[in-house]
Amino acid sequence: MATSLEYMGFVCEQMLGLGDVRYRKMFGEYMVYLNDKPILLICNNTAFIKMRDEIAEHM
């Protein structure tokens, strides 16, 4: 199952106000960028993010 554009809209909407949000189709799915830095990989309507010490309290 491929990621839907509706889900991509939902993900990007959740990040409004954090900076410049954009997405790009990659490898058949999507990469989401915040201020030109890749932050999320979206596959099959699921968001994947690398765990970092800096964001642990938010996750």
pLDDT in tens, 15-30: 899 899 999 998 889 9
- Weakly modelled stretches of the chain, pLDDT under 50: none
pLDDT of residue 59: 67
pTM metric for this prediction: 0.81
> Cβ(9)–Cβ(22) under 8 Å?
no
- The boundaries of the domain holding residue 43 are 5-58
How many domains does one find in the chain? 1
| Confidence (pLDDT) at 53 | 81
pLDDT value of residue 10: 95
CB 18 within 8 A of CB 57: no
